[in-house]
């Protein structure tokens, strides 16, 4: 298992974990990367913000009918 991953792979894992559970090795890789990278924690925040906005939009459209 390759422990250190690049930002592109980190973004893939961040996106993937929104849809499904990551495996143990993927979790370790992502946590290690987030611990040393200055930019990718912002990517996590942005993905979470987008996810929350989509949830709010879905709730809004369901309640507006």
pLDDT in tens, 7-44: 999 999 999 998 999 999 999 999 999 999 999 999 99
49 is a domain residue: yes
pLDDT of the residue at 61: 73
Cβ atoms of residues 43 and 14 within 8 Å: yes
pLDDT of the residue at 26: 97
2 is a domain residue: no
The Cα angle at residue 37 between residues 17 and 39, in degrees rounded to 5? 80
Residue 59 has pLDDT above 80, yes or no: no
Query: What does the alpha-carbon distance between residue 39 and residue 54 come to, in Å, rounded to a whole number?
Result: 23
How many domains in the chain?
Answer: 1
Confidence of residue 1 (pLDDT cuts 50, 70, 90): confident
pLDDT of the residue at 65: 59
Q: What predicted TM-score, i.e. pTM, was given to this entire model? A: 0.78
Structural domain of residue 39, as residue ranges? 7-63
Query: What does the alpha-carbon distance between residue 50 and residue 6 come to, in Å, rounded to a whole number?
Result: 22
């Amino acid at each position: 298992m390759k422990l250190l991953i690049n930002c592109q792979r980190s973004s893939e894992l961040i996106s993937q974990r929104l849809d499904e559970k990551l495996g143990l090795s993927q979790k370790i890789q992502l946590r290690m990367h987030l611990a040393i990278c200055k930019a990718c924690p912002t990517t996590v925040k942005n993905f979470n913000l987008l996810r929350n906005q989509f949830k709010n939009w879905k709730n809004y459209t369901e309640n507006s009918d």
